[in-house]
């Protein structure tokens, strides 16, 4: 779906989040403690530098708009997922393969939910008609070199 200009930067950031989640899942499943520790720390840094500002932007602009438009269930789901992702990002400051896997899987599902449901509802309700979001784009976390992600084992 073509995004309204007010949602385009947020949507682009989702691409980087999906890459981070994919590599996080590979690291979590690698069975290598050093890989889990390095990638978990990388994910935690990316969360602080990229995802947390992304969440705050959604929570200050998009979600109040949707709440006013009567889409409370979408708002509550988004807030619940943001809270769980925040808690998992904190857990990743210590090596934890299970937390890295859960974070990666939830982040993938969360991005898909936002793209397919949340943003679609926002556009249908007229979000962005007056360019509601005006924040400057942030450099993607992918610009920083992450630890090497392991290859998929077959």
- 149 confidence band (pLDDT: 50, 70, 90): low
- For the chain, give every domain's residue range: 5-128
pLDDT tens-digit map of 109-145: 999 999 999 999 999 999 987 544 444 344 455 544 4
Residue pair 128/122 in contact (Cβ under 8 Å)? The answer is yes
How far is 102 from 97, CA to CA, in rounded Å? 9
Average model confidence (pLDDT) across the chain: 88
The secondary element (H helix, E strand) that includes residue 19 is helix 5-29
28-78 residue pLDDT tens: 999 999 999 999 999 999 999 999 999 999 999 999 999 999 999 999 999
- C-alpha–C-alpha distance, residues 149 and 118, integer Å: 30
Both tokens of 3, joined, read: 């995004």
What value does the CA radius of gyration of the chain take, rounded to a whole number of Å?
Answer: 16
Q: Give the span between the Cα atoms of 152 and 44, in whole angstroms.
A: 22
Q: What pLDDT is stored for residue 6 in this prediction?
A: 87
Decide: 91 and 129 in contact? Cβ < 8 Å.
no
How far, in Å, CA of 128 to CA of 142, rounded? 27
């Amino acid at each position: 779906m073509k995004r309204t200009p007010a949602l385009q930067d947020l949507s682009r950031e989702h691409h980087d989040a999906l890459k981070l989640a994919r590599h996080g899942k590979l690291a979590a499943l690698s069975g290598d403690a050093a890989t889990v520790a390095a990638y978990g720390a990388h994910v935690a840094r990316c969360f602080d530098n990229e995802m947390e500002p992304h969440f705050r932007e959604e929570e200050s602009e998009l979600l109040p708009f949707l709440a006013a438009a009567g889409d409370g269930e979408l708002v509550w789901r988004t807030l619940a997922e943001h809270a769980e992702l925040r808690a998992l990002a904190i857990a990743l400051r210590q090596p934890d393969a299970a937390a890295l896997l859960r974070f990666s899987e939830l982040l993938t599902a969360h991005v898909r939910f936002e793209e397919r449901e949340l943003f679609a509802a926002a556009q249908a309700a007229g979000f962005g008609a007056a360019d509601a979001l005006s924040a400057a784009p942030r450099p993607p976390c992918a610009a920083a070199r992450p630890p090497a992600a392991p290859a998929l084992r077959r």
